[in-house]
Chain A
């Protein structure tokens, strides 16, 4: 190992990072998303996807869902640092593999082509609740809801069938059964 000339210590062994989903309830006020996102960029955490919208118009609460990767120590820090932000009410996090939680993304596909190609596209999307939002003789906008990797896959698969534009949301999450995050 080359000798260090730094006055800081050298970073040593690293743990394996995992994918986690954070759900954060915040006051819906100006700059709150910048605070949350700034925390991630400022401390070098990663954001894979982000979804945010107001969920309680009376109490002015927004719900932010963030997919991130990190070692267990980093994930702990993300939770604790998020909890410290003044407009943050509640933070929940779970592993992507967690069976007790559903998480979904939505995607819009614009397909341009003949009728049979569009039919083929719809057929390929069958497993993911396809809905046709717009249709002309030569085009269609198809909405699906699925997991991130499923959408990735569909994105590839539909390319040869006339897919010309994809728009997708970040993941949103909900616990299974009667219990809620707390």
Chain B
């Protein structure tokens, strides 16, 4: 007869069988039995954070940079409520997380016990699924099921709530089930007919564009490989969403840059004017589409996505292919190759005119900015950071705001899983803990959080975690003393009424670095910038880099609200030329 194990032992057995190496967490009364068991499992390392939100974001950074699910362990009540932001963030950006929370003993549930809250109720709308384990005999099954739900299909967060008495109770351990019970939810539902139809559309297109998203990253490195082959085979231009950056090399000539609200002129105009739009693993988010009625009005639209509910949610498409990006694109590539053997007719000549048009848009150089000798321009800072780190296989996380958009515009990624940013939820405070998770997954790599001073203060306490585990993360703060994106919108949309967007008191980040026990570097002169960045890169340990930048800089180009893709506001050079000044801005 097999040995009976306690709930806490079963939790670790499951983690071991799921090949978990790291968990991010914070102890408390209702998870103490699990924490007590930690010492018996040397293959699993626990990272102690300073706030449960930090644990969640660190697990997200870990998951997004490694492709493995991130595991979070928190206590009941405030432990669970603090992790809600991170769970919601992971849900919006499709990041696989498994969150284990302690709960008060079953006989106290519903009595308003100390540190009790309705964790499964609170997290129901922000997880793919969650479980309250009330019977010890269900625990191993639920744990394995949780990993399956988090990692299959469109990935996402799950939560397992384990009451304290269940952690002590004993039961037999059950190994994970090999056969996958899919509950009728198979992920690859496409047929060869659909692929053939797409290939036909490809050969007829005169003005095609590929619009790829985070689904390509989530599908694994093979998907990026297949995407690159597909782009090469077709010769089509490609643009990417914020989450898709890195799936296709950012410095390649066929890449038009990011699209959407702060996307490039060429990418957005190509989206608007195209006759064939191929969405690969993106979801027609409102930051991408702009005005729905005038979104890409003359194109046939194809949508490849693993989640059937993404299809026709916002934009009606002509051809939907439901499946895993890797499988779908590989199939397309094979079909194209087969056809070419039959009659080697390429449609690259068909689209030569289209490329000419795109080159014209490119000449606008829409990411331009007026550089300065006196103050550091934030765009310049990101460009220098890119130039000095591009040969190092660098991992970049960000917070949320202007700095995030400048990072997306000016830092060029050429590999997937190197770019971790909060897109869907837009969580300020994401980048620093995410960098911790990335560094845990990739101890030898250079990990930089491109941050804003307002965002980074939201989770600054996690610097203490970085110091504890000697994680050499670099916090590169573009300090403009404003909530920059809020300030920009107030300038453009609210008659420069800068209501509460200026931080009148900011900490001295140099002293803060010293207080945390890491290195502080400050830069406020563009002439010193390169040396200072190099100093940051060369330092073996965590660094807070306080980069003082021009506080009045705006992030351009920009699609104003309620406008289609071809009505963008461009940067200062272009505004001078076209005399779009006060009046043009009022149109926003």
Contact = CB atoms under 8 A, between A and B. Distances in A.
A77 B311 CA distance: 9
B561 A8 contact: yes
B124 A35 contact: yes
Contact of B312 (A4, A30, A73): A73
Contacts of A73: 312, 316
Contacts of B391: none
A9 B562 contact: yes
A80 B309 contact: yes
B292 A9 contact: yes
A88 B129 CA distance: 12
A88 B183 CA distance: 8
Interface of B: 120-121, 124-125, 128-129, 132, 134, 149, 183-185, 286, 289-293, 307-309, 311-313, 316, 489, 493-494, 561-562, 586-587
Nearest to B124: A38
Contact of A7 (B120, B129, B489): B489
Q: Which 6 A-B pairs have the closest CB atoms?
A: A80-B309, A86-B129, A4-B562, A9-B562, A10-B562, A5-B493
B312 A76 contact: yes
Nearest to A90: B184
A34 B129 CA distance: 12
Given A77-B309, A81-B309, A86-B183, A34 B132 contact: no
Contacts of A83: 185, 308-309
B308 A86 contact: no
Contacts of A10: 561-562
A89 B184 contact: yes
Nearest to B120: A31
A86 B129 CA distance: 7
Nearest to B134: A30
A24 to B, nearest CB: 13
Nearest to A78: B309
Nearest to B495: A5
Interface in A116-163: none
Interface of A: 3-10, 12-13, 30-31, 34-35, 38, 42, 73, 76-77, 80-81, 83-86, 88-90
A10 B561 CA distance: 8
21 contacts: A3-B586, A3-B587, A5-B493, A6-B561, A7-B489, A7-B493, A9-B286, A9-B289, A9-B561, A30-B132, A30-B134, A31-B121, A34-B121, A35-B124, A38-B124, A77-B313, A80-B308, A84-B308, A86-B149, A86-B183, A88-B183
A77 B310 CA distance: 9
A76 B291 CA distance: 22
Given A34-B121, A89-B183, 15 more contacts: A6-B561, A7-B489, A7-B493, A9-B286, A9-B562, A10-B562, A12-B291, A30-B134, A31-B121, A42-B125, A73-B312, A73-B316, A80-B308, A83-B309, A85-B129
A86 to B, nearest CB: 4
B252 to A, nearest CB: 31
B502 to A, nearest CB: 19
B293 A13 contact: yes
B290 A9 contact: yes
A10 to B, nearest CB: 5
Contacts, number: 63
Contacts of A81: 309
Contacts of B562: 4, 6, 9-10
Contact of A86 (B128, B312, B316): B128
A56 to B, nearest CB: 15
Contact of B286 (A8, A84, A85): A8
B336 to A, nearest CB: 30
Contacts of B291: 9, 12
Nearest to B311: A80
Given A9-B292, A30-B132, A80-B309, A4 B561 contact: yes
Contacts of A38: 124-125
A5 B185 CA distance: 42
A12 B293 contact: yes
A5 B588 CA distance: 7
B99 to A, nearest CB: 16
A12 B183 CA distance: 38
Nearest to A6: B561
Between A6, A7, A89, the greatest number of chain B beta carbons within 10 A of the residue's beta carbon is seen for A7
A89 B494 CA distance: 49
A45 to B, nearest CB: 13
Nearest to A73: B312
Contacts of B493: 5, 7
A15 to B, nearest CB: 11
Contacts of B124: 31, 34-35, 38
Contacts of B183: 86, 88-89
Between B286, B309, B316, the greatest number of chain A beta carbons within 10 A of the residue's beta carbon is seen for B309
A13 B562 CA distance: 13
B516 to A, nearest CB: 35
Nearest to B128: A86
A7 B561 contact: yes
Contacts of A84: 185, 307-309
Nearest to A39: B125
A38 B132 CA distance: 17
A31 B312 CA distance: 29
Nearest to A30: B132
